[in-house]
Amino acid sequence: MKKTLAIAAAILCGLLGTAFAAAIDQLTWDKSNIAILRGLNEAAIEKFVDELSEGDVHKTVGEFSWVDLAGDGRYELVTTLDLSGRSFFDYLAVYERDNRGEVSVQWFSEETAIGKLSDVVRDLDGDGRMELIIPTLFPSGAYGAGSVSGVWPAVYKLKNGSYVEASSEFGSFYDTEILPDLLKDIAEARVKARRSVAYVPKLISWTLEKDKILRVLGRDPTAGLDEARGWVGSDNPNLASAGNAVLREISGQADKAGREKELPKFVVLRKSGAG
Res 2 pLDDT > 60: no
Res 157 pLDDT > 60: yes
Average pLDDT of span 94-108: 89
Q: What tens digit of pLDDT does each residue of 231-241 get? A: 888 887 778 88
In this predicted model, which residue has the larger pLDDT, 168 or 244?
A: 168
- For residue 275, the model assigns a pLDDT of 47
- For residue 35, the model assigns a pLDDT of 94
Residue ranges covered by each domain of the chain: 171-250
Spell out the residues 6+ positions from residue 17 whose beta carbon is closer than 8 angstroms to its own: 41, 43, 44
In this predicted model, which residue has the larger pLDDT, 163 or 138?
A: 163
pLDDT-wise least confident of 39-43, 111-115, 219-223, 252-256: 252-256
pLDDT-wise least confident of 12-16, 44-48, 104-108: 12-16
Q: What tens digit of pLDDT does each residue of 191-215 get? A: 998 898 888 888 888 999 999 999 9
Average pLDDT of span 88-112: 84
Average pLDDT of span 25-39: 93
For residue 91, count CB atoms less than 10 angstroms from its CB and return exposed for 0-12, middle for 13-18, buried for 19 or more. Answer: buried
Res 73 pLDDT > 50: yes
Virtual torsion, Cα 29, 34, 37, 39, nearest 10 deg = 180
- For residue 258, the model assigns a pLDDT of 44
H-helix or E-strand spanning residue 15: helix 2-16
The distance in angstroms from the start CA to the end CA of the chain is 24
Average pLDDT of span 91-102: 90
pLDDT-wise least confident of 107-111, 219-223, 246-250: 107-111
- For residue 148, the model assigns a pLDDT of 63
In this predicted model, which residue has the larger pLDDT, 149 or 63?
A: 63
Cβ atoms of 114 and 136 closer than 8 Å:
no
Average pLDDT of span 218-245: 88
